[in-house]
Amino acid sequence: MYQISLEQPGDGAEIETLLDQSFGPDRRQRAAYGLRQDVPALGELCFVLRGARLLCASIRYWPVMIAGRQPALLLGPLAVGQAWRGRSLGKALIRHSLGRARLLGHGAVLLIGDADYYRPFGFSTELTGGLALPSPVEPGRFQGCELVPGALAGLSGPVEPARCGQAVEA
């Protein structure tokens, strides 16, 4: 039996281990980390998934700002422990957190990731065509999803860190 719950301060060390194992020790060099540096994650959208008390998976979100005026969410990192992959746990965390983000009134979500994995949730590279990340990423990986129809329509400009997050204290 798996349970999704909000990330708690005591989960931090286990999540760091999971992220190191999932993305490698140089994960902080990735483009998305440039948008997370010195900005706390949005605690109300960071979830862990546990089975038999073991931490199996984690998803976090960060606040970003598009073109200096349009707030959005940055989804990720999402990681599922090696032993639990292929059981739809990643999809469950995405579905759960996007539902929560919608309820909280967020309009748009951005991410850098595998398009095939995120397409079923409404993510598309077409919605990010006018947006520029602080550092380049492989083509086809920068995607957006509108939680409110039209939230990304016609937007162009840089995506930058936003400093309105509420920290999950370690």
Ligand X SMILES: CC(C)(COP(=O)(O)OP(=O)(O)OC[C@H]1O[C@@H](n2cnc3c(N)ncnc32)[C@H](O)[C@@H]1OP(=O)(O)O)[C@@H](O)C(=O)NCCC(=O)NCCS
State how far the Cα of 170 lies from the Cα of 166, in Å rounded to an integer.
12
Structural element, H or E, at residue 55: strand 54-66
Find the binder of ligand X among 39, 46, 64, 78 (CB under 6 A): 78
CB of 84 to ligand X, least distance (A): 7
Q: Which is nearer to ligand X, 50 or 85 (CB)?
A: 85
Nearest to 34 by CA among 58, 62, 11, 7: 62
- x-marked contacts with ligand X along 92-131 as a string, rule CB under 6 A: ---------------------xx-xx--------------
How long a stretch of residues is the chain? 170
What amino acid occupies position 93?
L
Q: Which is nearer to ligand X, 23 or 33 (CB)?
A: 23
- x-marked contacts with ligand X along 16-55 as a string, rule CB under 6 A: ------xx--------------------------------
Q: Determine if 89 is a binding residue for ligand X (CB under 6 A).
A: yes
Residues 6+ apart with CB under 8 A from 96: 4, 47
Find the binder of ligand X among 27, 30, 50, 85 (CB under 6 A): 85
Distances (CA, A) of 44 to 5, 6, 91, 100: 10, 7, 19, 9
Report the interface residues with ligand X, using CB under 6 A.
22-23, 78-80, 85-91, 113-114, 116-117
